[in-house]
A and B are shown apart, each in its own frame.
Chain A
Amino acid sequence: MIRKSRGDKVFDAANGIFMVLFSITILYPFVYLFSMSVTTSPATISPFSLLPKPGTFTLDNYKQVLSSNFVLVGYKNTILRVVIATVLVLLVSVVTAYPLSKRNLPHRNVITGFIVFTMFFGGGIIPMYVLMRSMKLLNTIWSLILPGLIPTYSMLLIRNYFMSIPNDLDESAKIDGANDYRILFQIILPISTPILATVVLWTLVGHWNAWYDASIYITKGERQVLQAILRQIVVMGKLEELGGDANMAVTPDAVKSTTIVVATVPVLCVYPFVQKYFVKGIMVGSLKG
């Protein structure tokens, strides 16, 4: 290793300082929001230390948000949605990707084209709504799950992964008399965990964060998902849903911030441990199959 020159040292220091400032820029809003959620007067938070004025600390905001049925119902519906969607998406995507990965599949190109075309042309929101209505899926969890049952891009990534598995593996299984279903579930899937983990995580995050479909298809409060409820409270400012108690010394902005914190904490807790799988996924995705 060649000794570092003075210019290099200056650059390293400047780069390091830049990265620290950058990280602060990313984290600052989260810390600020958290400060807002534990104070009675958000106006007194210092923009530099991010600490509220001493003596204004309170957990009442959390009491109010967690005691309202609204947020908890949202949590329940979101978790239900995420779990069902992830299981179904994975199952159907895998079962679709496998035959498409086989070169001997009759009319493979036609079928692939039929599927890929949908990535580039869609009907738009009104036809989707009409479809949901006529299938009587409005206000059901299926209106949130079925339209995204096969995320085409993820499914093609799985297909590409399957194609990279040497063919002789299932050839020999076939000679032993195994059919395609057994080959897929007992031989191919166990060695495909990296791509499956990535698709599972993408689906989890996608469904956790989804709000637009729910805000259109779901009109009953008790069926609504967390993000759509969050939007009503935080962006549209409908605080009455939180059952505003006149006796509680809370300000609307503090309650809004608290709701955001409550809705985001699970992601923040899980995220550092799983982010490497997302990164892996994008690497797989950037390779052409």
Chain B
Amino acid sequence: MAELQKNSLQQSRSSVWQRELRRLRQNKYLLSMLLPALAYYVVFHYLPMYGVTIAFKNFNFKKGILGSDWAGLVHFEKLFNMPSFWKVFRNTFIISFYKLIFTFPAPIIFAVLINEIGGNRFKKTVQTISYLPHFLSWVVLGGMFIQILSPVYGPINLILGKLGIKPIHFLADTSTFRSVLVVTTIWKGIGWGSVIYLAALTGIDPELYEAAELDGANRLQKTLHISIPSILPIVSIQLIFAVGGIVNDDFDQVFNLYNTSVYSVGDVLSTYIHRYGLVNFEYSLSTAAGVFKNIIAFVLIIATNYASRCMGDYGIW
């Protein structure tokens, strides 16, 4: 009896393998298509992921990642004991928080206003203009804002001068730099950010508006009671993701606008990691800061994805 059982177990085990092999063979073309991707993700994603061990080693280029000596948590200890690190940490959250408060609502308001424009041609033109900055790099925009905000003959300061205000060195003054970051973020992203809300607004059933009109609702009432509630679900999803991305400071923007005189207010995690790694050549310390940032980002994204799933079927994966 026991013999028999063992036999059938062996048989079923081998048939599991056979079935699996048959399944793989049947799908050999599909599977072969995945080979380049497999190689790509292993080499360019998982190998560098292993590279984060640099943070736990005394890395030097001659010995390589595998050959360098382990250092334990020394670099993390050093990092957490550096006052400059906590300053940068604070800057990151303060700037992200400002951006959340001011740049998050901007495209929503813009979308609602655009939606109220009657003329189709005018609407299209404004939209096309508003998307434009999104397609330019921060190198171009950084160069542009350096000129526009120049204290010597930048037009903004010329206009302020006509109003009797002394020239402001916007990009080198610790009291204005963060505002510049916020305003330029709005300027670059307001149009493109409105696309998703406009899509939601144009998807609203026109019968709702017609019914409201019959009941004597005016424009403002229709906006407040139909338009805004209809886009509220997408707004809350976007808000959740914006909160989830709070640690992802905009490296390109800060890096192309900041300078040594505003490091105290403008230096953020990503620029700090860049400078320690590629300017000061403190590879292990820089990687440790990167790992720290990555962990926070990862936790935030998992939490926000969970939150958005709770709100409906809108998770990213």
The answer for the CA separation of A146 and B130 in the assembled complex, in Å, is: 33
Given contacts A123-B52, A126-B277, A283-B195, 18 further A-B contacts (CB under 8 A): A36-B147, A42-B153, A98-B33, A102-B30, A118-B41, A122-B45, A123-B45, A123-B48, A126-B51, A131-B44, A131-B48, A147-B44, A227-B139, A234-B143, A259-B143, A272-B128, A275-B135, A278-B131
Indicate whether B207 reaches chain A with its CB closer than 8 angstroms. no
Identify which of residues 194-234 in chain B touch chain A, using a CB-to-CB cut-off of 8 Å.
195-196, 199, 213, 218-219, 234
The verdict on A288 contacting B314 (CB below 8 Å), with A111-B34, A283-B199 known, is yes
The answer on a CB contact under 8 Å between B29 and A126 is: no
Indicate whether B113 reaches chain A with its CB closer than 8 angstroms. yes
The verdict on A23 contacting B54 (CB below 8 Å), with A8-B219, A125-B273 known, is no
Which chain B residues lie closer than 8 Å to A99 at the CB level? 27, 30-31, 33-34
Q: Mark A98-122, 1 if CB is under 8 A from B, else 0.
A: 1110101110000110111010111
Identify which of residues 99-151 in chain B touch chain A, using a CB-to-CB cut-off of 8 Å.
110, 113-114, 116-118, 122, 125-126, 128-133, 135-137, 139-140, 142-148, 150
Indicate whether A249 reaches chain B with its CB closer than 8 angstroms. no
Q: Chain B interface: which of A56-64, A238-246, A263-271?
A: A263-271
The verdict on A19 contacting B113 (CB below 8 Å), with A2-B213, A125-B274 known, is yes
Indicate whether B37 reaches chain A with its CB closer than 8 angstroms. yes
Q: List 25 A-B contacts (CB under 8 A).
A: A19-B114, A25-B187, A26-B191, A47-B162, A96-B34, A102-B30, A106-B20, A118-B49, A122-B45, A123-B45, A123-B51, A124-B291, A125-B286, A131-B44, A131-B47, A131-B51, A227-B140, A231-B139, A231-B143, A235-B256, A260-B144, A264-B136, A278-B131, A282-B196, A286-B196
The answer for the CA separation of A208 and B140 in the assembled complex, in Å, is: 12
Q: Mark A22-41, 1 if CB is under 8 A from B, else 0.
A: 11011111101100100000
Indicate whether A79 reaches chain B with its CB closer than 8 angstroms. no
Chain B residues engaging chain A, CB cutoff 8 angstroms:
20, 23-24, 27, 29-31, 33-34, 36-37, 40-41, 43-52, 54, 59, 61, 64-65, 110, 113-114, 116-118, 122, 125-126, 128-133, 135-137, 139-140, 142-148, 150, 152-153, 155-156, 158-159, 162, 187, 191, 195-196, 199, 213, 218-219, 234, 251-252, 256, 273-274, 277-278, 283, 286-287, 290-291, 294, 297-298, 301-302, 313-315, 317
Closest 8 CB pairs of A and B: A127-B51, A123-B48, A234-B143, A47-B155, A124-B290, A209-B137, A180-B29, A96-B37
Which chain A residues lie closer than 8 Å to B277 at the CB level? 125-126
Which chain A residues lie closer than 8 Å to B64 at the CB level? 130, 134
Size of the chain A interface, CB-CB below 8 angstroms: 96
Identify which of residues 1-52 in chain A touch chain B, using a CB-to-CB cut-off of 8 Å.
2, 5, 7-8, 11-12, 15-16, 18-19, 22-23, 25-30, 32-33, 36, 42-43, 45, 47-48, 50
Shortest Cβ distance from residue A37 to the other chain B in the assembled complex, whole angstroms: 10
